[in-house]
Amino acid sequence: MSGQVGPVYSSGRRALRVAVAHACPRTRQVILDELGADPAFEAFVPSSCAEPLEAGVLLLDATGANRLDAVRAANPLLPVVLLETVHGAPEEAPESADLVRALIDPRGALDVVPLPSARDLDDATALVAVEGAVRSRLVPMMRALGVARMPVARCTPLPGPLTPTALLNSWSLQAPFRMLSIASGRGSLAALAGLLSGLPADLPVPVVAGQHLPARHLPALVDVLDRICPLPVRLLPGAGVRLRDLPAGTVWVTAGASPADTPGEGLFDGVLDGLLLSASRGFADGVLAVVLAGIGRDGVRGASAVREAGGTVLAQDEESSMLWGLPGAVALAGQADRLVPLGDLPAALTVTLAVPLHEWDDARGRHAHRPLERPATVGGRR
């Protein structure tokens, strides 16, 4: 069982085994106490992170991020969440390019959770601050990991080969696309980087990518993505920007909420919904939306708005997702036109977005005798 993906349960109860490796004894004990008080978890301190771990997730002090290679050597598939020690308010902490690189690396960390420094405070204040951060930021993430890979109904797989005719006929697409909108949640930075790095440099539409990442890390994220992607990557300007005015052939990254902004059960609800809703209002049936892996339900209402406006929604399939909460919620709500493996998305998007106008018109003509229908989605919904 060592180093496996997904929850590892103890024999006596259905509990997610969480290995806690944190350098600060007080912070480590708070994490152990908080997780240990919840029957959903079984927390323990590993003797070494460089050995195979019987765990469903490893919580690793971010100062030990340079030990990820050693962790991966012994536990190649074990989800790792980095615990970032923050001095002062989380939103005021400096950006960290090292953390962003660790999150983008497919063999790196799944997510980073900021926790206040226990060393900066007296005992009573430190206890309250760390307990609050663990309850509002860390525990929801652990709960998401515990249910992320529950089996669900499958959707019709991507048809092949990936030709314009096959996509037009089998997907029943109804209009040329003028914008690519990507919604990616916590735990999907590696998926976002993999998708963007596979898109061609001459993509004929603008790309807007929304990501659940503390805003302070966005400049570092843009810089790292710009280095690995064929398309230029830029930070989306603030309030007042119109998506319709964005030039084609550029990826625009927009801020998501930080864990401190929306603590508790909601887990960022609304940030990606807002992105998809804005896209549907600006481009109507010209939106091709992609929902990548992540936790929470943010994106369900936005995906519904895209489809109601005539656009198309693709969601990452469960098999290629470490955290299928976000795309799974969209699919189970009947708002995904297709579930697509992450590895097929770059080619599918490249082919679809490159279809010239006359081929769309030809496809409409071929199907003029019957209404264009969407493929069946999860659960037989349309």
Token pair of 106, please? 């497919």
Return the pLDDT at 243: 87
Judgement on whether residues 291 and 344 belong to the same structural domain of the protein: yes
In the chain, what percentage of residues exceed pLDDT 90?
24
Query: How high is the mean pLDDT of the chain?
Result: 76
Token pair of 22, please? 């944190």
Based on the structure, what is the number of domains in the chain? Answer: 2
Judgement on whether residues 174 and 122 belong to the same structural domain of the protein: no
pLDDT tens-place string over residues 86-136:
776 555 555 567 778 888 877 778 888 888 876 655 667 767 888 888 888
Confidence of residue 374 (pLDDT cuts 50, 70, 90): very low
Question: Pairing mode, if any, of strands 287-291 and 41-44?
Answer: unpaired
> Would residue 305 count as lying in a domain?
yes
Confidence of residue 301 (pLDDT cuts 50, 70, 90): very high
pLDDT tens-place string over residues 136-153:
878 877 877 765 443 333
Q: What is the CATH number of the domain that holds 106?
A: 3.40.50.2300
The per-type count for the chain, helices as H runs and strands as E runs, is 13, 12
Q: Of 83, 114, 147, which closes a domain?
A: 147
- Closest by CA to 271, choosing from 214, 343, 230, is 214
In the chain, what percentage of residues exceed pLDDT 70?
72
Q: Of 94, 113, 147, which closes a domain?
A: 147
Range of the domain at 359: 164-380
Exposure b/e, 119-148, CB count within 10 A at least 16 = b = eeeeeeebbebbeebbeebbbbbbbbbbbb
pLDDT tens-place string over residues 10-34:
333 468 899 999 988 888 988 999 8
167: helix, strand or coil: helix
Judgement on whether residues 302 and 370 belong to the same structural domain of the protein: yes
Q: Of 112, 147, 182, which closes a domain?
A: 147
Average pLDDT over residues 325-345: 89
pLDDT tens-place string over residues 243-261:
888 999 999 998 654 333 3
Give Cβ neighbours of residue 251 (< 8 Å, ≥ 6 apart).
Answer: 196, 207, 208, 209, 225, 229, 231, 232, 233, 234
Judgement on whether residues 249 and 375 belong to the same structural domain of the protein: yes
> Would residue 197 count as lying in a domain?
yes
Other CB atoms within a 10 A radius of the CB of residue 302 amount to 28
> Would residue 134 count as lying in a domain?
yes
Token pair 């990518």 in the structure block, residue: 209
Judgement on whether residues 349 and 205 belong to the same structural domain of the protein: yes
Return the pLDDT at 92: 54
Return the pLDDT at 169: 52
* N-terminal to C-terminal alpha carbon distance within the chain: 39
> Would residue 3 count as lying in a domain?
no
Query: H or E segment at 219?
Result: helix 218-228
- Closest by CA to 170, choosing from 328, 314, 338, is 338
CA angle 161, 152, 292 (to 5 degrees): 60
> Would residue 154 count as lying in a domain?
no
Judgement on whether residues 279 and 318 belong to the same structural domain of the protein: yes
Question: 348 near 162, Cβ under 8 Å?
Answer: yes
